A and B are shown apart, each in its own frame.
Chain A
Amino acid sequence: MPQPPGTHVELVDVSKSFGGVRALDEVSLKIGRGSIHALVGENGAGKSTLGKIISGVLTPDRGQLLVEGEPVTFHSPREAITKGIVLIAQELSVVPALSVAENVFLGTEPQKAGFVARRALRRKYAELAATAGFQLAGDLRGRALRTADQQKVEILRALGRNAGLIVMDEPTAALSRPDAERLHEVIRHLAAGGTTVVLVSHFLREVAELADEVTILRDGHLIRTAPAAQETVGTMLSAMLGRSLGTAFPARRPVTPQAKVVLEARDLSAPGVHEVSLEVKEGEIVGLAGLVGSGRTELARALCQAQRITAGTVTMAGGQLARASRSALIPGRRSTPRTALKAGLAMIPESRKEQGLLFGRPIGENVSLASLGRLSELGLVRRGKERNAVANVLSQVGVKVPAQSAPVATLSGGNQQKALFARLLLAGPRVLVADEPTRGVDVGAKRAIYDLLTELAAEGLGILFISEDTEEILGLAHRVLVMRGGRIAAELSGDDMTEAAILGAAFGAAERGA
């Protein structure tokens, strides 16, 4: 492919922080016109943030963005669109009830006296589709489209707004192999036609095949920008490795050899999970790593019976908790989060706001919710007993509250997370599945949660610790499972537990194909 003439977008010393966490630190790079420029890095390396800054979704704290050599400050995606820059986010936004053509020209429909000029709309759509080289009927309804076709609608929508630069965030993450290949063709066609494409992707093989240039980020820092021809999956991976800042982790206490297995899954399958087998021993912290979308959360939900399993068994030390029924018509005893909790398996869900807390309710009610049976007599809540139990467990997890009757929403993010820990600890579990317990909390609260997890393990709890932060997993876990594509891709322990090994397995460096 001929090297494109001139620079389309340039970033100079761009920095962006979220609540004290530096997501991007003085990143500078140039994106050539008509090129396919890939942004790669680990989870949280800053690649999505960079894509969002280019497309005006985020405004940088410091630094300068130049489009066509001209300094610009975008405060909204709308302002970026006026400069011909459009973001296609991971979550697509096709209106189900409108046709493809209407979706493409949404908000910019050709009009006649306030009515949509249908004939003009059809003609404009045909022209646009021909320029882009797409075969997609304009009269299909949005709801009838597969993900791959929805993506085409988004691309056409971008082109319809005269986009000169399209930022695509993980465009192939939700696509099947052939659809991904077809999208690659589309992207090549766009670039050949002079459109610049910024590709944020987890798939290094895709990047190596598709991109003209690659920018590698780590921890918010720019590692390098280089022509893709000079990179391989291996060189990109090694550049993504290594962390600079060393958060202090509490000392790990070894698991005694005679520790019993408390949680066991055999050939467990569920939506997004394929034939996973694992064990957690008492006093053991098992780290569960993997990229976003690799099935970590799905596995956690399947283990804790929040999601129906389709095959396999889950067993707690006391006895079998759940097994997939052979017949859909004659289900066995249906297991639910309630039965899991009773068997001693508790989960800190991924989103404390959507799945964890009762936001409008008082702190006390939130903490006692899973243990009310024990705190009541004849169905009446013993309020004195409840207050004492809640106060005790809150002090155990280290939360000071103004009053138990204050709404839980008044607590800081870190304390909300600890209140969620308190709820589950009060229920007296033997195994705790913690899905991203440190997401969105500040550094101090992170450390407190690390201490808490270590203490709980020392008291004999088995812990399955899910995190997208590799360093966190390495700092806390006795053993690490790495997920990829819904399966356990690697099990690492002892000296094998390295960032390189985890990332290698997570990105599938050893496998063939994408």
Chain B
Amino acid sequence: MFDPAPQILVGLEIGTSKVCAVVGEHKPDGSLSILGVGQARSRGVRKGEIVDQTTATEDVRTALAEAEHMADVEIRSVYLGVSGAHLQSFNHRGRHTIPSHDREIMEEDVQDVVRNAKSFTLQADRHVVHVVRQHFIVDGQAGLIDPVGMPGALLEVDVHVVHGLTARLQRPIHVVKNLQIEVENLVFSGIASSLAVLSSPDKRRGVLVMDLGAGITDYVAYADGLIRHTGTLAVGGDHVSADLACGLKVGLGRAEALKCSHGGVHLDPGDEERTLSLPSESGLPDKVVKLGHLRRIMALRLEEIFEIIAEDLEKQNLLDRLRAGVVLCGGGARVPGITELAERVFGLPASVGRTRSLSGLVATLDQPEFATAIGLVKFGSFQTPRTPTQRWRWRLRQTLGHLGSVFRMI
């Protein structure tokens, strides 16, 4: 029973451009180290959602096999990242009147109010991915983290709910289950990325994490240490490539290559007329494209993504609460000049996220593309109870439990 062996946690992200599996080791002392990573080019995913189950299954198998090989473990279950335009979020408030005579808030009251907050109705075809607890409110006094022991008559709590279409959420689960691997939990990729790149002080000061993926951009806004808003925008690197293919009149593959080799959002004054000559493929004359066009097309698209997100945050009244600024991750964070563009659009300091507080293959993994997969492992480490007995009980609950999960911050 007293199992001193470290817990193996696996994060699996089935992204639009790559499938990535990260194997982590959660030691009994609470530290987390990364043992291995496996990657495969993703072919069956568009805009963050699986469109071809067969190829997606193959790609997941390849990635998991590579990770198993590298970490030298057998993968039985994974924390699965999900994204897609169908994901939506809202904030909901639960209420509970304190029944006890002395009006002191007890542990049970907290459980009741949280239960109340979770009782909301969704459309029949939707399923909850996360219910993230925010702060408690006692008799109108907001911002309380732990109300137990406080006197009060009315206890309220805000929760942030992320939900999605059941049918779409089941697609990646099917893919993983087809490989005889269990899904521990579904995690919204945006939240996973934010766990990987943020520190607690950042969260307290308020920060926006944007994961600029190939197919979809996920974003999560924190203020006062809590998740305030999450969202997705089904526009990503693929759109940039498609724009370039259209605007420069080259093939999609070549547009992709151009984006990686010469991409950027900033144009030096002298570069406006600079041209790039592309070798021809079939004896046709060389294709010449202008660097100015390339950069302008990219800048317009990325700027638009930022503008739409900024507009959404403005609507939530969050923009001026993000004192730590904007953190970018995902492949899009590699675009030269992207932080300056984000600073300009949001009017906030921007930086590229680095995965923190990990040991193991840090150097390999400290790249913005891996934020989601690493975040999934981190999410797993928050979920896993420390003592073996708890762990068994938790296992049981997981087996019997449902798709939805309760995700508690702090």
User: Are A and B a genuine interacting pair, yes or no?
Assistant: no
